Amino acid sequence: MSIQQYRAVAHLYHSYFTGGLLAVALRKGPAAVGEITFNIFRRQHHEKFLSSFEKLGLAGLPDAVACAQYHYLSNGVGGVGVEYMYETDQKAWVHFCHPRWMYDGTALCGMPEEVSLGFLNGWYAYNGVSLNNPRLGFVCTCQDMDGAYGFAGYFKEYDHDLADEERLQFAPDEIAPPFDPGQAPQLDLGTWSEERLEKANRNYAMEYVKNFLFELSNVFEADEAAALGRIAGKQIGAQFYQETRDILGVEGDDASSFGEYMRLLFDGHGDSSDVRNEDDTIIVRQTGWRLMRGIDEPTESVFEGWNGLWQGALAVHNRMLTLDTVKRFDQGDECFEWHIRQRA
């Protein structure tokens, strides 16, 4: 498996996550995308927050400092630009810089404030609960939706227990202090090779897509969740096909070359895949579904949304080809299997 494969998967899934949020905001409104975002970040908080403390070397630090360093280090591993500024043991800042990973490219202009509120309440305001520290909260000082210099704020340990509604507060008149890289925590680059960082970046993007598709199926009825995931998948698959095929070095516009495109991406996921030619039909098989690791029973809509990526990509690769799903791992088969052939 190559760095280019990790990079292509990360780019495609990162784009799908951002595009999926925009699709929900456009078609279902700000409140709906805010709910989806809250659910995604609360779910990932439970899965990742405490389990990563030891890995990132944060045990024993004051809680406010540990939380700020967590976001600085974990997002840095995922390729996200973040600054960390220590003020006191009870107050430490984070600043997510432009360009924002979550609102890639011009998508920033289409994201409602409810998305920001979703992740603030879903994760940042909940750190004190997870750490069993009722005095720890988060103060947001600026948000991208206001045309500010990014997303910034600080974790603060107060001298009194906080009510639920006090865990997230706003102080728009405060400005994040200057960032000094020399005072920021550092990853041990001896254990974080380029390949490991690229793999972590891939995992970061895949985790967001997994939880986005899962939460779509929780918030909406099955048909609606499938339609939302599918349209976003088709649009993103089409829009980013050329970029990802260039990263992978795929050439040609026949069925065989698209089968190779799929194989390289699936191998880049960490799944086993193969491609063969039978009677003028290219057959692509993927064994396992690493993307949905941790989801016991992915719903029909989860597959439909994910499969939209390959449908959209094929439409750009060669619109005279069709992609048919023949076997479904999520429906009891031992693999996924697609057939690529010329239109009748």
Locate the domains of the chain by residue range: 3-183, 223-342
Residue 2 CB contacts under 8 Å (≥ 6 apart), including other chains = none
Q: Is 223 exposed, middle or buried (0-12, 13-18, 19+ CB in 10 A)?
A: exposed
Cα 295 from Cα 31, distance rounded (Å): 25
In angstroms, rounded to a whole number, what is the distance separating the alpha carbons of residues 227 and 313? 17
User: 160 by DSSP, 3-state: which?
Assistant: coil
- Each residue's pLDDT tens digit in the chain (344 positions)? 799 999 999 999 999 999 999 999 999 999 999 999 999 999 999 999 988 887 888 989 999 999 999 999 988 877 788 999 999 999 999 999 999 999 989 999 999 999 999 999 999 999 999 999 999 999 999 999 888 999 999 999 999 999 999 999 999 999 999 999 999 998 775 677 888 889 989 999 999 999 999 999 999 999 999 999 999 999 999 999 999 999 999 999 999 999 999 999 999 999 999 999 998 999 999 999 999 988 888 888 999 999 999 999 999 999 999 999 999 888 888 899 999 999 87
Q: What is the pLDDT of residues 147-186, one digit of tens each?
A: 899 999 999 999 999 999 999 999 999 999 999 999 999 8
Asked whether 137 and 43 are in contact (CB, 8 A), the reply is no
Fold of the 223-342 domain = Muramoyl-pentapeptide Carboxypeptidase; domain 2 (3.30.1380)
The one-letter amino acid at 20: G
Q: Between vectors from CA 302 to CA 10 and to CA 324, what angle results, nearest 5°?
A: 90
Task: Report pLDDT for 110.
Answer: 94
Pick the CATH number of 3-183 from 1.10.1740, 3.90.1520, 2.40.160, 3.40.50: 3.90.1520
Question: Residue 310 in contact with residue 324, Cβ under 8 Å?
Answer: no
